[in-house]
Amino acid sequence: MPASAPADLTLYDPFEGMQFSPRICFLCGASTVPGQDSVPVFADWLLDRYQLRERSIKLLDMSIVAYPGLRIACCEQCRTRHVEPLEAHLEQISRQGVQGFRELDEQLLFLWLGKMFYGVLVTELLNELDPLAVPRYPLAENAQMLRRFQAFFQPLQALRVPMTYEDFVPGSVFILETDPAQDDMPFEYDDDLSTIAFSIKLNETVLVACLVDNGIIRQAMRQVYRQAQRPLHPVQVAEFKARVYYAAYLLNVVPDYYPRPVQAGDREVIMDTLIDDTVGDIFNPWDNSAYAQSLLEMWKRWQLPLSEIMARPEEPLSFLYDAHGQPRHLERYPEES
């Protein structure tokens, strides 16, 4: 058998010159044909399994886009060699439920979540060129935010370029399980572009992530995460998400990534990282009133008022823990009196 062609180890940076266009492949920068060369942000198997073809999401400029309309430019080579195989693999993993995701290679899970997040991000950046309504805080005008996006894209290139992350994981990914007896919502998705936080629910599996923190948030939340390894009521999952999203908001550092120089015969890129923590604390100070706003947003479905969330200002309402700080087993909400 002939030897396989060496992998292309050339990295790509779309943030140099802001190369976001329906005519440029999101993954490698090759020219694409609008309307012909693209992939769905949310794969067809997700659209079909969760009846998303008739559902829509609202973007930052207040425009409404149907899920099938969320597509990102992708050349044929990247589509057939990288994106479609990843989606096919994740479709099979998803059929195994929570356990399948827990056994999945961590890099593959990061790449799958990252591909969806990045697809939404690029859609937002392109919309800012001709918005329905001018966003209050345009993404493209925030230098700190763009630096965070640019950092996130570096390890995401492992989707196309064989890559090893040397002694780090690029993001904090949490895998939660909902109690199916208390949860009738098969699919849910939300994100916070400014902090690169992302969550998607697939039946009883809930994946929550901050995609560019080098695992710092997961380390900080290791005890809460360990104690949440049980079927949770959806109101408890929402609280866990509020903690992750608020932690991502407080994160005060952006990782820098450095690919090692490629040598003749190399078959992968080795990515190193550095976090400059000399400028201050890794997290900004925790503020209960600000955290309560995160809870308020995540608990909209249950219409919990801020007055109830902050009934004890020194200790906002929790369904994950009881008054003694012990993990709380919640069979139903509202609880029977």
Which tens digits make up the pLDDT trace of 60-89?
A: 778 899 999 999 999 999 999 999 999 999
For residue 79, the 8-state DSSP code is I
Q: How do residues 3-39 score in pLDDT, each as one tens digit?
A: 445 578 999 999 888 888 899 999 999 999 998 999 9
Q: How far apart are CA 103 and CA 261, in angstroms?
A: 32
> Which own/partner contact pairs does 177-181 have at CB distance under 8 Å and 24+ positions apart?
177/98, 177/204, 177/205, 177/206, 177/229, 177/230, 177/231, 177/232, 178/204, 178/205, 178/206, 178/231, 178/232, 178/233, 178/234, 178/237, 179/204, 179/231, 179/232, 179/233, 180/204, 180/231
Rounded to whole angstroms, the Cα distance separating 84 from 101 reads 18
pTM, rounded to two decimals? 0.93
Amino acid type, 257? Y
H or E element in which residue 73 lies: strand 71-73
pLDDT digits (tens, 9 = 90+) for 37-51: 999 999 999 999 999
What is the rounded CA–CA span in Å between residue 216 and residue 172?
7
Q: Give the model's pLDDT for residue 137.
A: 56
Confidence category of residue 2, pLDDT binned at 50, 70, 90 = very low
The residue that leads in pLDDT, 3 or 126, is 126
Q: How confident is the model at residue 204 (pLDDT cuts 50, 70, 90)?
A: very high
